[in-house]
Amino acid sequence: MFAGVDMSGLRMGSAGLTWDYVDRLKDATSMKVLVKGIVTADDALIALEHGVDGIIVSNHGGRAEVSGVSSIESLQEVVPAVQGRVPILVDSGFRRGTDIFKALAIGADAICIGRPYLWGLGAFGQAGVERVLDILARELEIVMAQMGAASLAEITAGSIVV
């Protein structure tokens, strides 16, 4: 998994995960590199300076980032800073179609879900995961209809009050 990447002196979760490490990772692979855990405009701009291919706005469920600011709140700061230069994904706590709608309206390009698909997988295997995705998609369709958005492109910041 880390072939070609100098992992000496690095322990996952340690202070060794620096912007220098992102540079080394970018140099070692032709794959896209997304950075997860961005919660401020300043960090988003630093990530762009280091050539990341995408940003995942996430407070890691509040376990690793202690400001108390939710990912959806952080998204409101990160989106204007990035100005569409790279895709922005958002993670942490997406459980309903309304949550997804809000994130898209704020400017996320995609939403990451963790626990819901794991719940589906644990309960019913692949069919459970498919059902979770179906439920989220249907809930998103319902809120889009309620908001008068016929397509994802029609979901805008004017759709919500922040």
Q: Looking at the annotation, which residues are catalytic?
A: 60
- Which tokens in the block code for residue 157? 């910041």
Strands 54-57 and 110-111: unpaired
- Which tokens in the block code for residue 161? 């009050």
Give the integer Cα–Cα distance in Å for 40 and 57: 9
Among residues 24, 15, 89, the alpha carbon closest in space to that of 50 is found at: 24
